[in-house]
Structure formats: C-alpha cells, structure tokens
Amino acid sequence: MSQRAKAITDSTPRNATRRRYESPLTGRYGSAEMSYIFSPQFKFSTWRKLWVALAVGERMLGLPISEKQIKQLEKHVDDINFDVAEAKEKEIRHDVMSHVYAYGQQAPDAKGIIHLGATSAYVTDNTDLIQIRAGLELVAKKLVNVINALAKFADEYADLPTLAYTHFQAAQPTTVGKRACLWIQDLLLDLEDIERVHDTLPFLGVKGTTGTQASFLELFAGDIKKVQRLEHLVAESMGFDRVLAVSGQTYTRKLDYRALAGLCGVAQSAHKFANDLRLLAHLKQIEEPFEKEQVGSSAMAYKRNPMRAERMTGLARHLIVLIMDPALTAAEQWFERTLDDSANKRIAVAEAFLTADVVLEIYLNVASNLVVYPEVIKAHLAAEMPFMASENLMMEAVKRGGDRQELHELIRQHSQDAAREVKEHGRPNDLLQRIASDEAFASVHDKIEEITDPRRYVGLSAQQTREFLRMQVRPVLKARRAWLGLSGTVSV
C-alpha cells in the first residue's frame, strides 16, 4: 500500500460517528415507517412476541407452563437487552440462541420454556413474513396516494391537447390528462399485485427442524390434534388466517420472490413515469417541483435539473435488479434447508422494501406538485399541427371539387419544402401559409383555422380520461379512502 493510501485509511475523522458506512436508504432517503419495519427493534420484538404466542398456546394445550412465566415474558417483549444478546452471539455464533439467552436473563422464571419445541426458523421465518406483510401494506398505502395525486392531475388536464410521441417523434395529439391515465393504469396493476400477495401471504407456523412437527408431536405425547391446534393458535395470535400446509425447516423462498416481484412492478411503473417526466422537462412542457432556493447545477446557475425524477430512475433501476436475488435464492435451496439464503435475505428483502418506499415517496411528492406550461405545450403542438392537418385539408378540398391526386402531390411538395425550412434553417413551420397562398386550395382557405384546431385531433382522449377515472380509479380510491392523506417527502 502506498504511503498516501495508508495515510487516508489510517486517518481518524473529526466526527467518529461518521466512520462507518450508512445506507442511503435509511440515512438519506427512506421513511421512518419502512425503516422501522426492518429495524432490529421490530425484528427482535417480533421474535419475543412469537415466543410468547408459542408459550401461551402450549400452556392452553396442557404443557406445564405457568401464568407467572407468561407474564414475565410479556413484560419484556419490547425492552430488549441488545448488549447481552450481542455479547452472547460473539461467543456462540448463533443469533437465535443468543436472543433466547438474553430474554431468559430478563425473564429468569421463564428461561426454561422459551423456544420450547421450536427451531430457529420458527422466529426468523415467521418474523420475515410479518415484516413482508407490513411492508406490503405500507407500499399499498403509498401507491393509493400516488394514484390519487395523478387522478387529480388527469382530471384537471383531461381536455388540454398535447403532442403525443411514438419513438419520441411527434405523433397524433392526445391530452395531458389522457397521458397521465397511462401512468395511473400501470400503478393500478401494481396495486392489484401487491394486495394479492399481501392478502394471500401465509404463515410458516410451528413446523420444527425439517417441517415434520416431530418435536411438537413429542411434546404433546403423540396428540396430533394438539399439534395442529397449537399451530392455529400461534398463527391467529400473529394475525394470520392461512398457514403453509407443508414446508421444510423454512418457508419456500418463492414467497420472497412473489413479494419482490410486486415491488419490481412498482419500480417499472415509477421508472417509466420518471423517464417521461425527464423528457417533458427537456421539452419545457411539464416539470417536477423546483423550490425557490434549490440549486440546479453547481456550475450552471440557470439550470433546473429534474433531480427528483432522476433519483426515481436510479433507485427504481436498483429495485428492478434486486428481483434476481430472491429468484436465485429460491432456485438454490437444497431439500429441507440450506443456509446460503440467510445472509442474502437480510440484505435483498429489506433493501427492496426500503427502495420501493423511497421511490414512492418521491413519486408522491412529484405527482402532487407537477408544474404544467400550457403555452409551451400549445407552441409544440402548433409547430407540428400543419403536417397533421394537411390530410384533413386535402380531404376537405376534394369534397369541394378538387382532384385528390393533384392535391396530394401539392401537399407532399409543400410539406417537404416546409420541413426543409425548419430543419435546415431553423425557421417556423410555414406549411399552412404555403397552402393558404396556393390557388389549388382556394376552396378551403376559409376552413384552415377550423381544420387546424388541435381539439379535432385528440379523438376520445378527454372522454376516455373521465370514463377511466370514473369507472376504474375512483372506486379503488373510495374503497381505500382511509389510506388517503399522505404527503411525499424529499428530504434532500
């Protein structure tokens, strides 16, 4: 190592609290709600709740567990002695048994019955499923609020004609509201997927070391009904009405994949919206909010960079890539259990939910504060309208006695000449002026303004927008109105 590199690595920062890497997903971007779901406090409190639920169920079914032991466990569900658990884990290299030990230190009368009959996956996997369910609910809430913000926007601009683009080339006009409906439609599909996974997510239950429940059958002296009843009691106490019928030691890792596939869908939709907005910002038609004191560029003071949309794009890309982790993990599992999933799951699942949360926070912030420039939109449309209206002008002239083939050739020549003026000399599109001065089109000179009205070319855009909002969007929002009222925060 060079002396310079060694000096850098050996140097001590002035602020010692900044000496370790901190994930931007929690330290810079993420919401407190999603960060809490994947926090040590939530995780290990849930472990303790699961141990309490297990002990309560076992006591109800006749095992020698006292009310005093239960109460002592309940007393210390949330005040976790992390220092004791961390010290013990360094000694024995097992996180679950370290926390069993730490819990037993706080509840000494109950330490002998904590985790009775269970294996590690009882707390780790059931907690993972509880975290996933909570994360999916928060994602669904934020999706609904983004949909609501875009619905208001679509309704407001349902009638405003704008150029549509195919291949990012000017195409037949649409309306600003209709384009927003395309964004909403994608999010409705995402919401459907997220809620389906949330509503059908099963509990692992109490399955034992290889999923056979042999240890619990032994505890209850071969009483099958008591083993089945215990699993039902624990699942019910943790808020689940569905339990996996079969498993190995762990739940099938395809459940992780299903959850992250829903989040990946959210990322795809957000990425498309963000890219569309970045292009619209370049065209100066629609922009994300830009605050009074915000700096667009460190060098170019005049710039208004679409930093929110760019951040959405980058984070959504990261989330899309993360889907590979649970896919490969599900494919890799051997028989009833391997441990190559554990370290990966700690990172991939939590990061996916945290990333989805940040993306939706930004999306909600932007969608609630979009800045529209109608005059710029009108100017872009006007620049292309002569080409689009030429067919209608020709047909109207034919109706009034003109020769279709002759008029077609004249339109072709005028269009090419006008395009050349625009592309080679940067001049305005003068196609309409050329047609207006051509005697072959004299019969339609009085109709040019009417025929070039953009509203004639947007088809059913406004009607589709209002029908879509009425039939597809508002029923979804009404059914979830208790979730509305969130605001998206962009901290930096």
Catalytic residue IDs: 167, 297
12: number of Cβ within 10 Å: 7
Q: Please choose, from the candidates 280, 287, 283, 490, the residue with its C-alpha nearest in 3D space to the C-alpha of residue 370.
A: 287
Q: Are 361 and 146 in contact (CB under 8 A)?
A: no
Q: Please choose, from the candidates 387, 153, 191, the residue with its C-alpha nearest in 3D space to the C-alpha of residue 280.
A: 153
How big is the chain, counted in residues? 492
Q: Are 365 and 489 in contact (CB under 8 A)?
A: yes
Q: Which uninterrupted H or E stretch holds 53? A: helix 40-60
CB environment 216-225: b (16+ within 10 A), e (fewer): bbebbeeeee
Cα angle 137, 309, 267 (rounded to 5 degrees) comes to: 40
| Residue type at 352 in one-letter notation | A
Separation between Cα atoms, residue 109 and residue 76, nearest integer Å:
13
Q: Which uninterrupted H or E stretch holds 259? A: helix 254-282
Cα angle 34, 39, 41 (rounded to 5 degrees) comes to: 125
As beta bridge partners, residue 165 has: 170
Q: Are 358 and 308 in contact (CB under 8 A)?
A: no
Q: Is 266 exposed, middle or buried (0-12, 13-18, 19+ CB in 10 A)?
A: buried
Q: What share of the chain is helix, strand, coil (3-state, %, to 5)?
A: 70, 5, 30
Separation between Cα atoms, residue 383 and residue 421, nearest integer Å:
12
Q: Please choose, from the candidates 438, 429, 436, 447, the residue with its C-alpha nearest in 3D space to the C-alpha of residue 387.
A: 429
